[in-house]
Structure 1
Amino acid sequence: MENITSLSSIYALYQKLYEDIYVMNDETDLQYFKFVADSMKAYYPNSSLTKHLFENISLRERQFETQSKMEELLSYAEEKGSLEIVLPDIHGDTVRLSDLKGKVVMLIFWSSRNAQSISSMINLQNIYNKYNHKGFEIYAISLDNNRTQWISAINFNEFKWINVSELSYPDSHADRMYNVTRLPTNFLLNKEGALVTRDIYGRTLEIWLDNLL
């Protein structure tokens, strides 16, 4: 890359092929971002462009790391099915995710402390009621550490599906297994227990269920 000490080199990093597709959009392109960033730090340490460039590099690194982990997860799922989870429900009974094979299962991570999670779960109720008798189940993992608060949220909102939790957040393990970085996050498993897609809601979820059930 020429003129690496020029501020114009920053703009060169963000050239687009199309409206929403960048020329430098692969993980291997990060080296060019870092070359320019190091140069900008040396010549323009106080520039806001330099600061934003370093922030963008950190963001891209996290995104590529997440993408890599998700690809590993999908590869494993394609080969062996979903990763096994064994957790206690609100009654203390152990429920294995693998015991639900034969049903289409939504594995959802949520928290009673997270308003967006609660809203998402409430919006799932109509779909659950519509498809549950056809073989659709929800395995909801709460990332909580307060049993009373967790159960209160379930009872108050009348979440009738399978509710489980380690009650050890932030030291829980299931969310790490599935590389959960935000709440809510969901994964859809087919009748064989293999992961087929993630983070789907509303009409999109219904279309998937119509095809899988």
Structure 2
Amino acid sequence: MKKVMLCVAAAAILASCTPETGFDLTIDAQSAGDSPVKLSLENQEVLYEGTLNAGKLTVHIDDFPHQYAMVEIAELGMPAVYYHDGADVTINMDSVTGIVIEAGVFNDSADAFRDKGAFFDATMMTLEDKFRNAMQLNDTLATEQIREEAMTLIDSQTKMTLDFAKKNDILGAAIVLSGNTSSYDLEDFRAVRDQISAEYQDSPDYIKLSDKITALEKSAVGATFTDFSQATPEGEMLSLRSVEGKLVLVDFWASWCKPCRAANPALVSLYDVYKARGFNIIGVSLDRDKEAWIKGIAEDGLQWPQVSDLQFWQNEISTFYGIQFIPQNLLIDENGVIVGKNMEPEALAQFLENNL
């Protein structure tokens, strides 16, 4: 009997030393009554579904990796978005007073970042109003000044965002991935990843950031370009290696992309001037409408090879190289090495003149 009691006591001690996993979600939304409630992730995975009891709920939920999460109460129709870091979550929601969330240190930092961003958003809205007024008055001088102010504001916000991301561990990954990723280069993404603690490397945001870096490394100047094959407008498969040239420009574009179409005349001019000296181009289109693609080629007078899988932003080549905006380009030498990236016509012309 004594031995049994000792075993029971030992089991109790061991159980008391085992850390509790998961977190408590507490909701106070009295105006919502007995409304359905749901907790879900950015990828729309639902972690909890239940019903409020007179506007209240307390439930224990298994923990999940650090990332943004969302609580939705059907009756209120306004989601409560917070950054989950494993801490207990308390949410007060009301259709009149709004949303108040307590959810740990990382969420406090996310709130601070949103407050910083609110200043830029408000300033940009003011500039947009001024721009519309200037356009109505045909005041070209004012519109140009406002455009320059807007660009300066965007640059400032980009710098603020990157500086914040570099100091906030895994939250930094979520921040740079949720904005305009084309504002950052490979070294920026590496700097954010390098400051993330090892304990958060199972986070979806860490994994997505690492995937982004891997894609950008594939298209970095100095990297060896991986060959590809896609269909031409005639339906034949064409690979990069089969495109002859001392320097070959891989041009990512689409017929629906106005900046791409605006850039095409300059490419046509460069092609005409330097093709005899060993310059060539292969267009990779992010079109999904074959007829529109073919029409765009004809309208812009593009004489160089063209390929596409007509998968829009899921184009296999552009996805492999992490292309998230167009136009973009990669300049490949005869050894298959990337020697230039996103070169403007003037810079490309100078490079061709110096190297062909």
TM-score by length of 1: 0.70
Q: Does the 8 A contact of 2:249 with 2:330 survive in 1?
A: yes
Which residue of the other structure, out of 108, 130, 147, is the alignment partner of 2:290? 147
Q: For residue 279 of structure 2, what is the aligned residue in structure 1? A: 136
Q: Does the 8 A contact of 1:107 with 1:189 survive in 2?
A: yes
Q: For residue 238 of structure 2, what is the aligned residue in structure 1? A: 95
Aligned residue pairs total 174
Deviation, structure 1 residue 121:
1.7
Q: For residue 15 of structure 1, what is the aligned residue in structure 2? A: none
Q: For residue 9 of structure 1, what is the aligned residue in structure 2? A: none
Say whether residues 1:74 and 2:190 are aligned partners.
Answer: no
Say whether residues 1:166 and 2:322 are aligned partners.
Answer: no
Select the structure that is richer in strand: 2
Q: For residue 29 of structure 1, what is the aligned residue in structure 2? A: none
Q: Does the 8 A contact of 2:245 with 2:280 survive in 1?
A: no
Say whether residues 1:201 and 2:347 are aligned partners.
Answer: no
Say whether residues 1:48 and 2:115 are aligned partners.
Answer: yes
Alpha-carbon deviations, 1:17-70, whole Å to 9, x = none?
xxxxxxxxxxxxxxxxx998644567x79x7337679x9344535541455532
Alpha-carbon deviations, 1:185-205, whole Å to 9, x = none?
000011212111101122210
Give % identity: 21
Distance 2:176 2:118 in 1: 14
Q: Which is further off, 58-67 or 177-186?
A: 58-67
Q: For residue 118 of structure 1, what is the aligned residue in structure 2? A: 261
Distance change in 2, residues 1:87/1:162 (3 Å): same
SS of the equivalent of 2:343 reads coil
Q: Does the 8 A contact of 1:186 with 1:199 survive in 2?
A: yes
Which residue of the other structure, out of 331, 339, 349, is the alignment partner of 1:188? 331
Q: For residue 20 of structure 1, what is the aligned residue in structure 2? A: none
> What amino acid is aligned across from residue 201 of structure 1 in structure 2?
E
- Higher normalized contact order (CA 8 Å, seq sep 6+, divided by chain length): 1
Distance change in 2, residues 1:126/1:101 (3 Å): closer
Q: For residue 176 of structure 2, what is the aligned residue in structure 1? A: 60
Matches within 5 A, 1:27-38: 38=107
TM-score by length of 2: 0.44
For structure 2, the residue ranges without an aligned partner over 5 or more in a row are 1-84, 86-103, 120-156, 166-173, 190-208
Q: Does the 8 A contact of 1:139 with 1:161 survive in 2?
A: yes
For structure 1, the residue ranges without an aligned partner over 5 or more in a row are 1-33
Q: Which is further off, 91-100 or 173-182?
A: 91-100
Distance 2:303 2:278 in 1: 15
Alpha-carbon deviations, 1:103-151, whole Å to 9, x = none?
2100010011110011112221111100011111111011011110000
> What amino acid is aligned across from residue 49 of structure 1 in structure 2?
K
Q: For residue 86 of structure 1, what is the aligned residue in structure 2? A: 229
Q: For residue 176 of structure 1, what is the aligned residue in structure 2? A: 319
Q: For residue 7 of structure 1, what is the aligned residue in structure 2? A: none
SS of the equivalent of 2:302 reads coil
> What amino acid is aligned across from residue 84 of structure 1 in structure 2?
D
SS of the equivalent of 1:74 reads coil
Deviation, structure 1 residue 159:
0.7
Q: Does the 8 A contact of 2:247 with 2:331 survive in 1?
A: yes
Distance 1:49 1:201 in 2: 33
Deviation, structure 1 residue 212:
2.7
SS of the equivalent of 1:170 reads helix
Q: For residue 355 of structure 2, what is the aligned residue in structure 1? A: 212
Distance 1:101 1:193 in 2: 12
SS of the equivalent of 1:83 reads coil
> What amino acid is aligned across from residue 233 of structure 2 in structure 1?
I
Deviation, structure 1 residue 99:
1.8
Distance 1:96 1:169 in 2: 19
Distance 1:59 1:212 in 2: 41
